[in-house]
Amino acid sequence: MEKTQMAMLKLVLLGPPGAGKGTQAKSLSEELGLAHISTGDILRQAIQLDSALGKEAKHYVDKGELVPDGLVTKMVIERLKRPDAKRGFILDGFPRNIKQAEDLDSFFAQEGYSDYKVIYLDATEKTIIQRLGGRMICKKCQAVFHMTNMPPKEGSRCDFCKSELYQRQDDREETVKYRLSVYAQATKPVVEYYARQGRIMEFDADRESSVVLKEMLQGL
C-alpha cells in the first residue's frame, strides 16, 4: 500500500485484556503515522488528574467493570473529531460492547468512514494471566513494562521519563478474572458483529509482539 493511503488508515483493535492491544497499537501508530486513541489510557490519565471524568470513572475502572457507555462514547467521539485523528487513527479499547459498536458505526456513517478495518488479536487465557500479572505502568507517561517479558532497565523506574512504575489496581489476579468474564460477555459479541460485516483480520497474539506486529503490517 502507498504511504499516503497508509496515513489515512482507520483501524479498530479488538481482543481480550493482555492480548497486547496497547503495545501493538503504539507500534502501529508510530509505523503508520496514526493517532493512537486508547480509552484505557485516557481514563487512567483522567483518574490520576482527578478530573470530573476521572472521578466518575475511577470506581468502574478499579473494579474492572465497563465505564458507562454515555461517558466513554462521548469521550471517543470528541477525540475522533480532532484534526490529527482525521488523518487516520487506531482505536484501542473501544468499542467494548454492541451498543458502543453501533454508536461508533453511526458516527462513522456520518463522517463517511465506510472503509475502516478491524484487527482482532486473540490470546489464550494462560498468556493473558501471565502478561497481566507482571505488568507495570509508568505513572507519568503510561509506558508499559513487564517484570519478566520487558523489564525496566532501572529497578522500578520508567526507561523513558524515570518516573515511578505501578501495578494497575485492575491487574490484580481477582480483578483479571472478572475482566475476562466482562470480555467474554460484553466484548466477544463485538468480534462477531464485525465478522458479520466482513471486516475482521485475525492474528494469533500468543506469540512475541514483534512477530505479531510484522504480520499485521503485512496484512494491512
Report CA Rg, the chain: 17
43 binds, among Zn ion, ligand ADP, none (CB under 5 to 8 A by kind): ligand ADP
Q: Phi-psi bin for 162: left (phi > 0), alpha (psi -120 to 50), beta?
A: left
Whole-number Å distance between alpha carbons of 69 and 128: 25
Whole-number Å distance between alpha carbons of 213 and 141: 22
Nearest distance in Å: CB 153, Zn ion: 12
Active site members: 21, 96, 135, 168, 179
Residue 169 carries which DSSP code? G
Q: Which three-class secondary structure state does DSSP give residue 88?
A: coil
Whole-number Å distance between alpha carbons of 1 and 154: 40
Q: Is 160 in the site for Zn ion (CB under 5 A)?
A: yes
Cell numbers linked to 140: 507519568
User: Which of 25, 28, 61, 80 touches ligand ADP (CB under 6 A)?
Assistant: 61
Q: Is 64 in the site for ligand ADP (CB under 6 A)?
A: yes
Count of CB atoms within 10 A of residue 125's CB? 12
Instruction: Give whichever of 66 and 154 is closer to ligand ADP, judged by the CB atom.
Output: 66
Residues 6+ apart with CB under 8 A from 51: none
Nearest distance in Å: CB 72, ligand ADP: 4
165 binds, among ligand ADP, Zn ion, none (CB under 5 to 8 A by kind): none
Residues 6+ apart with CB under 8 A from 196: none
Contact call for residues 190 and 97 (beta carbons, < 8 A): yes
Q: Which positions from 97 through 126 interact with ligand ADP, judged by CB under 6 A? A: 100
From 43-51, 59-67, 135-143, 186-194, span contacting Zn ion (CB under 5 A): 135-143
User: Which of 67, 118, 138, 212 touches ligand ADP (CB under 6 A)?
Assistant: 67
User: Which of 17, 20, 88, 152 touches ligand ADP (CB under 6 A)?
Assistant: 17
Residue 187 carries which DSSP code? I
152 binds, among ligand ADP, Zn ion, none (CB under 5 to 8 A by kind): none
Nearest distance in Å: CB 143, Zn ion: 5
Instruction: Give whichever of 94 and 194 is closer to ligand ADP, judged by the CB atom.
Output: 94
Q: Is 137 in the site for Zn ion (CB under 5 A)?
A: no
Question: Closest Cα to residue 174, out of 64, 76, 79?
Answer: 64
List residues near ligand ADP by CB under 6 A: 17, 21, 39-40, 43, 60-61, 64-67, 72, 93-94, 96, 100, 170, 179
> Applying CB under 5 A, which residues contact Zn ion?
138, 140-141, 143, 158, 160-161, 163
